[in-house]
């Protein structure tokens, strides 16, 4: 899932200080699971903003909504009426959801309520760990299911770097060396030969926004065009 954390209240308050009608929108998927931007967090933020305005002797009309996924076109129409009436929108979705709202409501300022941080896993409630940097060319099949892009401080595709400190990374002794972990995992699976596979330099494709069009979608579109 995408993991995010709520922005400091002072930052959100400052960004939205000049607007008297605000729509706060939570997202019911990743950011809800990581307790940063779901329905409850959206309601809490709206209340915090209202209290802050009241303390300044100012009024604030604020509407709070939560959609299932802000990154999915089909859920955004439910916000059209509230967005039309608002002067500004606060989105508690990840960066993708925030941008999708900004695209749908181009006349309204859309402010981020969270900092999108990483793609990760839910170890326990409240404990999230980065696992993937969406490099676009997954090598987990070779590396025993351990991501060298995320886990190695130098994102080395061919490691270790030579600086491994026992089992730790030379950059941070609290961080296990990714390539030590990969060695251990492959050894356990009797696939240690993989460590000698020289991986080609990465053809980084993330300098421009990436798009995936699934074959079924392309076929359907082509069929509609006939
Ligand atoms: S190699 Fe790592 S960063 Fe790339 S897709 Fe796989 S898990 Fe994600
Ligand atoms: S010590 Fe290990 S994790 Fe750290 S940079 Fe070198 S190979 Fe990567």
Check residue 79 and report its DSSP letter: G
| Banded pLDDT at 26 (limits 50, 70, 90) | very high
pLDDT digits (tens, 9 = 90+) for 116-145: 999 999 999 999 999 999 998 899 999 999
Q: Output the 3-class SS for 154-200.
A: CCCCCCCCCCCECCECCCCCCCECHHHHHHHHHHHCCCHHHHHCCCC
Ligand 1 pocket check for 134: Cβ under 6 Å: yes
Going by CA atoms, what residue is nearest to atom 2 of ligand 1?
147
| Distance between CA atoms of residues 40 and 25, nearest Å | 11
At residue 226, the 3 state secondary structure works out as coil
Percent of the chain residues topping a pLDDT of 90: 86
Q: Mean pLDDT across the stretch 183-193?
A: 97
Ligand 1 pocket check for 140: Cβ under 6 Å: yes
Closest CA to 48 of 8, 76, 87: 8
User: Among all ligands shown, which has an atom nearest to the Cα of 151?
Assistant: 2
| Banded pLDDT at 203 (limits 50, 70, 90) | confident
Residue 21 has pLDDT above 90, yes or no: yes
Residue 63 has pLDDT above 80, yes or no: yes
Strand-pair partners of 176: 168
Positions of E strands within the chain: 2-6, 21-27, 61-67, 88-91, 110-112, 114-124, 127-132
Determine the pLDDT at residue 176: 96
What is the whole-number distance in angstroms between the Cα of residue 177 and the centre of ligand 2?
Answer: 5
Determine the pLDDT at residue 225: 66
Residue 207 has pLDDT above 80, yes or no: no
Average pLDDT value for the chain: 94
Domain boundary assignment for the chain = 2-119, 135-196
* Cis ω for the linkage preceding 120 (within 30 of 0): no
User: Among all ligands shown, which has an atom nearest to the Cα of 143?
Assistant: 1
Determine the pLDDT at residue 19: 98
| Banded pLDDT at 211 (limits 50, 70, 90) | confident
What is the whole-number distance in angstroms between the Cα of residue 151 and the centre of ligand 1?
Answer: 10
CATH fold for the domain made of 2-119: Rossmann fold (3.40.50)
Closest CA to 87 of 70, 64, 62: 62
Ligand 1 pocket check for 143: Cβ under 6 Å: no
Residue 152 has pLDDT above 90, yes or no: yes
Going by CA atoms, what residue is nearest to atom 6 of ligand 1?
138
37 Cβ neighbours under 8 A, 6+ residues apart = 4, 6, 26, 27, 31, 91, 92, 93, 94, 113, 114
Determine the pLDDT at residue 226: 61
User: Among all ligands shown, which has an atom nearest to the Cα of 167?
Assistant: 2
| Banded pLDDT at 184 (limits 50, 70, 90) | very high
Ligand 2 pocket check for 163: Cβ under 6 Å: yes
| Distance between CA atoms of residues 216 and 222, nearest Å | 10
Going by CA atoms, what residue is nearest to atom 7 of ligand 2?
160
Name the residue of 1, 136, 140 to mutate for ligand 1: max ligand atoms within 8 A of Cβ.
140
Ligand 1 pocket check for 178: Cβ under 6 Å: no
Ligand 2 pocket check for 181: Cβ under 6 Å: no
Q: Mean pLDDT across the stretch 190-195?
A: 96
Which atom in ligand 2 lies closest to the alpha carbon of residue 153? 5
Determine the pLDDT at residue 208: 79
Asked which of 3-7, 21-25, 42-46, 215-219 is least confident by mean pLDDT, the reply is 215-219
113 Cβ neighbours under 8 A, 6+ residues apart = 6, 7, 12, 24, 37, 42, 45, 90, 91, 92
């Amino acid at each position: 899932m995408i993991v995010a954390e709520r922005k400091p209240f002072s930052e959100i308050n400052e960004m939205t200080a000049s607007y008297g009608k605000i729509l706060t929108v939570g997202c019911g998927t990743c950011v809800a699971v990581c307790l940063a931007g779901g329905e409850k967090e959206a309601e809490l933020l709206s209340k915090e903003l209202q209290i802050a305005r009241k303390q300044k002797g100012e009024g604030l009309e604020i509407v709070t909504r939560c959609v299932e996924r802000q990154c999915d076109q089909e859920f955004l129409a439910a916000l059209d009426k509230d967005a039309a009436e608002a002067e500004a929108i606060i989105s508690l979705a990840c960066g993708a959801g925030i941008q999708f709202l900004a695209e749908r409501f181009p006349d309204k300022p859309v402010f981020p309520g969270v900092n999108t941080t990483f793609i990760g896993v839910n170890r326990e409630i409240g404990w999230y760990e980065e696992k993937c940097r969406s490099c676009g060319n997954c090598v987990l099949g070779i590396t025993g299911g351990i991501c060298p892009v995320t886990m190695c401080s130098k994102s080395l595709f061919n490691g270790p770097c030579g600086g491994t400190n026992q089992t730790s990374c030379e950059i941070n002794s609290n961080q296990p060396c990714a390539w030590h972990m990969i060695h251990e995992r492959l050894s356990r699976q009797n696939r240690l030969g993989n460590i000698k596979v020289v991986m080609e330099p990465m053809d980084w494709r993330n300098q421009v926004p990436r798009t995936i069009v699934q074959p079924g979608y392309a076929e359907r579109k082509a069929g509609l065009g006939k």
